[in-house]
């Protein structure tokens, strides 16, 4: 069996990679477990020196890594370079902060001394998607390695080149070679890897069905999991919003990574008094975004990562239109090669339509009308997902209240697009998963929070 990397802009087969045999996987797991046992004894400054070197390599190689992302999954070059830079940022962030986050915390009790210690678990398996093929990995790997763990990467098959490039970055940065390894296997073999005794915990970024499968298997083995799953992020535009700024931010969020982002804005819930004007601005700005070959300068929207994903997105659009939604822009896949889908705007969207109920993983925006703030919040929360949300209003205190107390999501932003930041915890609730990545919360997910009590 081989893993195939196909250029989604041209349908060209880039490369085939031989799948690892059962014995090769077994060897990788054993070597990673042994490497973790030694790595946990290393000092934080030594770990930090290596992770900073990884950051430097990411910066040095960002152009070639951006090209690799463009070829394997269609990300426009400028976005790929920014992704590499963000990976360097998260490496430096944990190099600077990991020791502080994991320092023993004294607790006053009746003991002569008691404290909480944080110790690594061992080898952590990461099951990662194709849409941010470097960032998704580094936001797990940087804290996991700085905490003293080993990393095992099962990446999406279509970005195998990216997986191997990440492995090479860590090797070139001076990490022991077995400490971070890419597992070149099909998804059907993941359950057996989760069950392996060398794997101590699992993290997944992916779909809700994948999350259920991984959580079920890991749970049966009593292994810790962190799940970052799908989203149908609502952006609430209230009647007092700065509509020009809101429309610009909403379009930018909807088209992040050509619309293929869990935390890209999906549903735009707009107060009825300003809905028509918002639609005009939104469509105007969506229409100006350039779709094309991700290797060309100035392209905002590349192809979808695979043709089957593009076709599934189009079926969701057609089903929503049949159910009563109206097309304001786009909605038709262009002829010719490549998995392209144009920026598309639907209005008149309501519950019961795919555009409202499901995650639209592509450049399709769903506009939903709301008579007032109360109905807007109700519709925003009327979703099985809870990853991100945003609210737009000139009354910042009002926005802060809604973000903190009313909207049901792991991240709620006011007058800004939802994004991940190494300094802030990231994750979801409901069917968007559980656990947190990034910040102090993220590095503490894969450690033993250990009580030490001295009489």
Which one of 198, 228, 437, 445 is the catalytic residue?
A: 228
Query: Can you read off the two tokens belonging to residue 160?
Result: 């195998």
Residues 6+ apart with CB under 8 A from 454: 111, 112, 113, 114
Residue 342 CA to residue 18 CA, distance in Å, equals 34
Please report the domains of the chain, with CATH numbers, ordered by start residue. Answer: 2-229+432-454 (3.40.605.10), 234-421 (3.40.309.10)
pLDDT (0 to 100) of residue 141: 98
Mean pLDDT per 10-residue run, the chain (455 residues)? Answer: 96 98 98 98 98 98 98 98 98 98 98 98 98 98 98 98 98 98 98 98 97 98 97 98 98 98 97 98 98 96 97 98 98 95 98 98 98 98 98 98 98 98 98 98 98 98
Which one of 250, 262, 358, 445 is the catalytic residue?
A: 262
3-state secondary structure of 194: helix
43 burial type by CB count under 10 A (0-12 exposed, 13-18 middle, 19+ buried): exposed
Which helix (H) or strand (E) segment holds residue 199: the answer is strand 199-205
Which helix (H) or strand (E) segment holds residue 375: the answer is helix 373-381
Residues 6+ apart with CB under 8 A from 116: 104, 105, 107, 449, 450, 451, 452
Query: Can you read off the two tokens belonging to residue 352?
Result: 């019961």
Q: Is 250 a catalytic residue?
A: no
Per-residue b/e over 297-324, b at no fewer than 16 CB within 10 Å? eebbbbbbbbbebbeebbebbeebbeee
Decide if 345 contacts 283 (C-beta within 8 A).
yes
Residue 419 CA to residue 159 CA, distance in Å, equals 23
pLDDT (0 to 100) of residue 144: 98
pLDDT (0 to 100) of residue 315: 98
Could you report how far apart the first and last alpha carbons of the chain are, in Å? 59
Dump the DSSP string for 398-450: HHHHIIIII--SSEEEESS-----TTS-B--EETTEES-BSHHHHHTTTEEEE
pLDDT (0 to 100) of residue 452: 98
Residues 6+ apart with CB under 8 A from 114: 106, 107, 108, 451, 452, 453, 454
295-to-87, 119, 133 alpha-carbon distances in Å = 21, 44, 17
Residue 136 CA to residue 132 CA, distance in Å, equals 6
Residue 181 CA to residue 130 CA, distance in Å, equals 17
443-to-145, 222, 267, 322 alpha-carbon distances in Å = 9, 20, 31, 46
Residue with token string 């991984």: 214
Q: Which residue in 125, 84, 114, 104 sits closest to 44, CA to CA?
A: 104
pLDDT (0 to 100) of residue 1: 84
pLDDT (0 to 100) of residue 20: 98
Q: Is 162 a catalytic residue?
A: no
């Amino acid at each position: 069996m081989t893993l195939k990397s196909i250029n989604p802009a041209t349908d060209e087969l880039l490369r085939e990679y031989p799948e690892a045999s059962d014995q090769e996987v077994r060897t990788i797991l054993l070597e990673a477990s042994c490497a973790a046992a030694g790595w946990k004894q290393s000092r934080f400054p030594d770990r930090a020196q290596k992770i900073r070197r990884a950051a430097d390599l990411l910066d040095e190689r960002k152009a070639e890594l951006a090209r690799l992302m463009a070829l394997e999954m269609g990300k426009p070059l400028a976005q790929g370079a920014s992704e590499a830079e963000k990976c360097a940022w998260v490496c430096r962030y944990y190099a600077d902060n990991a020791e502080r986050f994991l320092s023993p915390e004294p607790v006053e009790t009746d003991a002569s001394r008691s404290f909480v210690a944080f110790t690594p678990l061992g080898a952590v398996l990461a099951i990662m998607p194709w849409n941010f093929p470097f960032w998704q990995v580094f936001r797990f790997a940087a804290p996991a390695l700085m905490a003293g763990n080993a990393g095992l990467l099962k990446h999406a098959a279509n970005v195998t080149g990216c997986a191997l490039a990440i492995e090479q970055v860590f090797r070139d940065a001076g990490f022991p070679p077995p400490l971070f390894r890419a597992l070149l296997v099909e998804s059907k073999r993941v359950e057996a890897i989760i069950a392996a005794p060398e794997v101590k915990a699992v993290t997944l970024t992916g779909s809700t069905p994948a999350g259920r499968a991984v959580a079920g298997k890991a749970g049966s083995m009593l292994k810790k999991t962190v799940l970052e799953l799908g989203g149908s992020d609502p952006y609430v535009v209230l009647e007092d919003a700065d509509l020009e700024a809101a429309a610009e931010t909403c379009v930018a969020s909807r088209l992040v990574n050509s619309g293929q982002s869990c935390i890209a804005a999906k549903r735009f819930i707009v107060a009825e008094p300003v809905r028509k004007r918002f639609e005009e601005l939104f469509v105007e700005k969506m229409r100006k975004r350039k779709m094309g070959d991700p290797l060309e300068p100035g392209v905002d929207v590349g192809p979808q990562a695979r043709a089957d994903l593009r076709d599934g997105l189009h079926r969701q659009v057609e089903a929503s239109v049949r159910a009563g939604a109206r097309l304001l822009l786009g909605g038709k896949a262009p002829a010719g090669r490549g998995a392209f889908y144009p920026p598309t705007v639907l209005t008149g969207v309501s519950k019961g339509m795919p555009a409202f109920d499901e995650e639209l993983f592509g450049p399709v925006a769903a506009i939903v009308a709301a008579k007032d703030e109360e109905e807007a919040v109700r519709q925003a929360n009327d979703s099985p997902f809870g990853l991100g949300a945003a609210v737009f209003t000139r009354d910042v205190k009002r926005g802060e209240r809604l973000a903190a107390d009313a909207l049901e999501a792991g991240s709620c932003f006011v007058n800004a697009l939802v994004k991940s930041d190494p300094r802030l915890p990231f994750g979801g609730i409901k069917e968007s998963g559980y656990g947190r990545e990034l910040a102090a919360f993220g590095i503490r997910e894969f450690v033993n929070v250990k009580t030490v009590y001295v009489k």
